[in-house]
């Protein structure tokens, strides 16, 4: 699907605030991605990718999935904003040098507001899960 070299075609984010390396799949029902946690990442502290980074990774996985679906309809990525993050459960933080996988499922849409449920994983261990309201401009 989308690799690191062309992920910027699908998301509005730019370095150093890109928290997405690969978009593995994108359907209207589910988006899947991967992200390598580098020690120079702005959301790394004391050798671990922070909760805020995991939440941002879910948001960017959403942006990448919607951007990929929109691109297939001949339009570029739209800018979105996190409207709210709820039901956050943090289980573990991933260390530097690991690759996390993320699954996001859009659950509701009303106009330009989309509700998603997302989870990050390291191997088969769940790191964080949450619900997120995204406002797409």
pLDDT tens string 20-56: 999 999 999 999 999 999 999 999 999 999 999 999 9
Q: Identify whether the C-beta of residue 131 lies closer than 8 Å to the C-beta of residue 116.
A: yes
Q: Which of 113, 91, 117, 90 is nearest to 103 (CA)?
A: 117
Q: Identify whether the C-beta of residue 104 lies closer than 8 Å to the C-beta of residue 116.
A: yes
Give the angle 101-73-100 at the CA atoms, nearest 5°: 5
State residue 32's pLDDT score: 97
Whole-angstrom CA distances from 112 to 60, 85, 104 are 17, 17, 18
Tell me: domain 7-136, CATH 3.30.565.10, correct?
A: no
Once rounded to an integer, what is the mean pLDDT over residues 5-20? 88
106-117 per-position pLDDT tens digit: 999 999 999 999
Average pLDDT, the chain: 92
């Amino acid at each position: 699907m989308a690799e690191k070299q062309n992920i910027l075609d699908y998301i509005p984010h730019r370095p150093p605030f890109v928290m997405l390396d690969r978009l593995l799949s994108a359907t209207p029902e589910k988006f899947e991605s991967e992200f390598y946690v580098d020690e120079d990442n702005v959301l790394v502290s004391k050798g671990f990718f922070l909760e805020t980074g995991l939440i941002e990774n879910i948001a960017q996985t959403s942006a990448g999935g919607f951007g990929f679906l929109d691109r297939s309809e001949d339009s570029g990525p739209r800018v979105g904003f996190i409207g709210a993050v709820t039901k956050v459960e943090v289980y573990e933080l991933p260390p530097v040098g690991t690759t996390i996988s993320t699954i996001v499922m859009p659950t509701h849409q009303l106009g330009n507001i989309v509700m998603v449920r997302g989870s990050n994983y390291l191997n088969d261990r769940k790191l964080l899960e949450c619900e997120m309201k995204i406002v797409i401009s």
